[in-house]
Structure 1
């Protein structure tokens, strides 16, 4: 049975999807380097991994070194595959000294809505 989102039908019900939220504080002196590394990793993830449904990253307006990530994976296996991928391991190695703090939140999807093609 498909999961119905606004304007789209997806094959994976929300109960099987893994949704993670991460809040990171980056060393301001290394912010540009961090952003370059995370953009590369995110682009590789959605291009190479079919189980990565979406990864979003935003920065706080008044504190641009505080980043928030919203990640959606098809299931737990897709998430495990993601964190084992070469591009994710490269990101971790490259950025570990840039990250001042990290808070990871595991969630239970309630409703995930999007418009087709956006």
Structure 2
């Protein structure tokens, strides 16, 4: 178990790519992630996936121990190859830099590639400014309970946008869709939903079909 004492570098990318470049983009992306997670101890986790059947709408989540670890990754040969292909494939890109609030990962180190039954669920909350502290307290408690009581939940990350502090993003990784559906019928999630809904301005949830899921194994971090 890696227990982080300092906040890691945490980012979410939204990428739209050319459908014609999907195969090449996926191929070099897979090599980038697999080589990076084995060669770079400071690269803690990298997850890629797509929302649509054609694989045009993509999501990438990255977690690095610190800025220096990211710089090592950015200079790596495998990333340079990926960067070249992505330069041709990506037509639209946005990045959300996140301040980590709670990071929880259980189980062995992951080296998962599509096709897989694993499922990523991304939820973006916009929370009332004067209710942020209350909402974060409710959500972190719910996530901690879920991670300790639901064996099908592998990873739960919570981050706050550095550009818009009212925006919180939750990244959940489930072993399969059944585990995801069961989560929504638990008592602890029901209690969270009831207690938090008046604190939320807007909420959007998307299911992401994984392409590559890699991490260094069990990890925990909680912002003080």
- CA, structure 1 residues 111+95, in 2 after alignment: closer, same or farther (shift >3 Å)? same
Residue 67 in structure 1 maps to residue 161 in structure 2: no
1:10, distance to aligned residue in structure 2 (A) = 7.1
- CA, structure 1 residues 84+72, in 2 after alignment: closer, same or farther (shift >3 Å)? same
Give me the TM-score of the superposition, normalised by structure 1: 0.87
The residue number in structure 2 matching 1:56 is 157
Give me the TM-score of the superposition, normalised by structure 2: 0.47
The residue number in structure 1 matching 2:190 is 89
- CA, structure 1 residues 117+80, in 2 after alignment: closer, same or farther (shift >3 Å)? closer
For 2:214, which of 109, 113, 117 is the aligned residue? 113
State how far apart, in whole Å, the 1-side matches of 2:138 and 2:148 are: 16
Segments of 5+ residues of structure 2 without an aligned counterpart are 1-33, 39-108, 220-224
State how far apart, in whole Å, the 2-side matches of 1:107 and 1:100 are: 23
Could you say which structure has the higher strand fraction?
2
| 1:9-20 alignment, distance < 5 Å | 15-20=116-121
Segments of 5+ residues of structure 1 without an aligned counterpart are none
Whether the 8 Å CA contact 1:53–1:74 is kept in 2: the answer is yes
State how far apart, in whole Å, the 2-side matches of 1:22 and 1:41 are: 14
Whether the 8 Å CA contact 1:14–1:111 is kept in 2: the answer is no
Whether the 8 Å CA contact 1:82–1:88 is kept in 2: the answer is yes
State how far apart, in whole Å, the 2-side matches of 1:71 and 1:14 are: 18
For 2:124, which of 8, 19, 23 is the aligned residue? 23
Q: Which has the higher contact order (CA 8 A, sep 6+)?
A: 1
- May I ask how many residue pairs the two structures share in their alignment? 113
Local SS of the residue matching 2:214: coil
RMSD: 1.9
- CA, structure 1 residues 37+49, in 2 after alignment: closer, same or farther (shift >3 Å)? same
Q: Determine which structure has more spread, i.e. the larger CA radius of gyration.
A: 2
1:116, distance to aligned residue in structure 2 (A) = 2.9
